Amino acid sequence: MSDRRPIIAGNWKMTVNHLEAILLVQKLAASLNEQQLTDVEVVVVPPFTALRSVQTAIDGDKLLIGLGAQDLSPHDKGAYTGDISGSMLAKLNCSYVLAGHSERRQYHHEDDVLVNAKVRAAFRNGLTPILCVGEGLEVRDADGHVGHCTEQVIAGLEGLTAEQVKKVVVAYEPVWAIGTGKTATPDDAQEVCGAIRSCIAEAYGKEVAEAVRIQYGGSVKAANIASIMAQPDIDGALVGGASLDAEEFASIARFR
Ligand code: PEP
């Protein structure tokens, strides 16, 4: 058993307006309170427009639920219409921010260089990046998944200090498992998460690699979380669809 504190994050994507988000986080807080979590970090990742409302709702309960954003600009300020900076997110008490989610990579053509710039922007502004990596089906079928994901991780961490790397959360999310109902088997997920930890150890040393938390994401549910969390290199989950059901998400957070 490692010292790494498990982190279960719910990515609400573009599914709720701010009123629906308030309702969802209130239900979640009630469900979590009932379930007596033991040393698990629970984070919600609402759309930008709901961050303020959710922050206000969880303000007094910060220890129970943390706040994250789904994306950030690589720039800190300026003429970037439509973008949201890391400092704006920090001002809203966000602690986490996703960088390089596969939907951003796919629909907004974000490459590893941009994702790395976002990871660095997160650190400049006191946010912890959740660096998302994962392979598409063609890459997996061609048996290139391990190399693909480790390359994405090393590119995403470029230019960080060892102390910063220790704080990064990496989310391994095979693209073919996101929102499809297909979950990687626990062994498949462990294969890639173990390789990610090894490549970080090679680049930054074992102590750094042992500190990094690695999540699995892709059709995680209450029914499959326990076997995923039983893997030695998996320290949490990034949950999409199932995080929109407060009770289900609370059960995922109580995975033991
Ligand atoms: C995600 O969007 O990060 C995700 C893992 O989604 P789902 O749980 O719905 O597959």
**DSSP states of 236-252:** EEEESGGGGSHHHHHHH
* Per-residue pLDDT at 183: 83
- The CATH number of the domain holding residue 161 is 3.20.20.70
How confident is residue 86, by pLDDT bands cut at 50, 70 and 90?
very high
Tokens encoding 104: 């951003």
Instruction: Label residues 223-250 b or e (16+ Cβ within 10 Å = b).
Output: ebbeebbebebbbbbbbbbbbbbbebbb
* Per-residue pLDDT at 141: 92
Considering the domain boundaries, does residue 1 fall inside one? no
Considering the domain boundaries, does residue 225 fall inside one? yes
Burial of 1 (0-12, 13-18, 19+ CB in 10 A): exposed
Q: Which atom of ligand 1 is nearest to the CA of 219?
A: 10
Give the residue whose CA is nearest to atom 1 of ligand 1.
240
Domain count, the chain: 1
Ligand 1 centroid–CA 215 distance in Å is 12
Considering the domain boundaries, does residue 2 fall inside one? no
Q: State the residue range of the domain holding 39.
A: 7-253
Mutate to test the pocket of ligand 1, among 105, 107, 220 (most ligand atoms within 8 A of CB): 220
How confident is residue 34, by pLDDT bands cut at 50, 70 and 90?
low
Closest Cα to residue 84, out of 98, 94, 74?
Answer: 74
Q: Which atom of ligand 1 is nearest to the CA of 132?
A: 3
pLDDT at 61 over 70: no
Question: Ranked by mean pLDDT, which of 35-39, 54-58, 59-63 comes out on top?
Answer: 54-58
How confident is residue 41, by pLDDT bands cut at 50, 70 and 90?
very high
Burial of 148 (0-12, 13-18, 19+ CB in 10 A): middle
Q: Per residue in 109-145, pLDDT tens? A: 999 999 999 999 999 999 999 999 999 999 999 999 9
How confident is residue 35, by pLDDT bands cut at 50, 70 and 90?
low
Considering the domain boundaries, does residue 181 fall inside one? yes
Give the residue whose CA is nearest to atom 8 of ligand 1.
240
The SS3 of residue 146 is helix
Considering the domain boundaries, does residue 169 fall inside one? yes
Mutate to test the pocket of ligand 1, among 172, 178, 224 (most ligand atoms within 8 A of CB): 178
pLDDT at 60 over 80: no
Considering the domain boundaries, does residue 245 fall inside one? yes
How confident is residue 96, by pLDDT bands cut at 50, 70 and 90?
very high
Strands (E), the chain: 7-11, 41-45, 66-69, 96-99, 128-133, 169-172, 213-217, 236-239
